Amino acid sequence: MSQQLRRETTGEGLSNEEIFDVLQNERRRHVLQYLRQHGGPVALGDLADHVAAAEYDCPTDAVTSAQRKRVYTTLQQSHLPQMDEVGIVDYDSDEGVIGTTDQTEELTVYLEIVPEGEFPWREYYLSFGAISLAVVTVLWAGVYPFTLIPPLVWTTLFAIVLTMSAVYHTLVAREMTLTEFADDGDERP
């Protein structure tokens, strides 16, 4: 019985080792991102164009045939068969078609893709720091009306906002952490 079929019948998820093995390779991450964006099934040629464009930082229509061939070959001969073997994708090598599986979705949650309209945390903290520094600067300069509020009140306000932001960010990040999944399927604290 194949490993993929065994996983489907037992309801077994991916182990941490399998997750890390897949996600450590940038080309495989590009495959997962493309599948997440376009669903499945997708043609190997279209996937190779997308991955090559991402790797060479150019539009898909600017990918050279040599770049495309390099990516196409490694996807076809190495990455997709390995990902298919552990059930991360459904790769039909005869047809050159890649489909998604339940495991595909399990891995895409670990990719750092910020949905459209969502404010990334790094930008939030950068903005918060810049605003804090600007307020401190105008307080040092004695600019009215900022001087109407005592500096200790400003400090307390910034500390509260920063602490609440960090608490919220920690709770959100805890839901998406890899350490919550043990190899045996039990959750870890």
pLDDT score recorded for residue 38: 82
For residue range 71-86, what is the model confidence (pLDDT) as tens digits?
999 999 999 998 888 8
Q: What percent of the chain has pLDDT over 70?
A: 78
Confidence of residue 44 (pLDDT cuts 50, 70, 90): very high
CA distance 92 to 80: 9
For residue range 113-129, what is the model confidence (pLDDT) as tens digits?
444 445 577 788 888 99
The structural architecture, per CATH, of the domain 3-108 is Orthogonal Bundle (1.10)
With CA atoms as reference, report the closest residue to 38 among 46, 27, 48: 46
E strands, the chain, are: 42-43, 89-92, 97-100
Q: Which residues contact 188 (CB under 8 A, 6 or more apart)?
A: 179, 180, 181, 182
pLDDT score recorded for residue 181: 39
Question: Is residue 72 within 8 Å of residue 44, measured between CB atoms?
Answer: yes
- Domain residue limits, the chain: 3-108, 121-180
Residue 95, class by beta-carbon neighbours within 10 Å (0-12 exposed, 13-18 middle, 19+ buried)?
exposed
Confidence of residue 112 (pLDDT cuts 50, 70, 90): low
Question: Is residue 139 within 8 Å of residue 154, measured between CB atoms?
Answer: yes
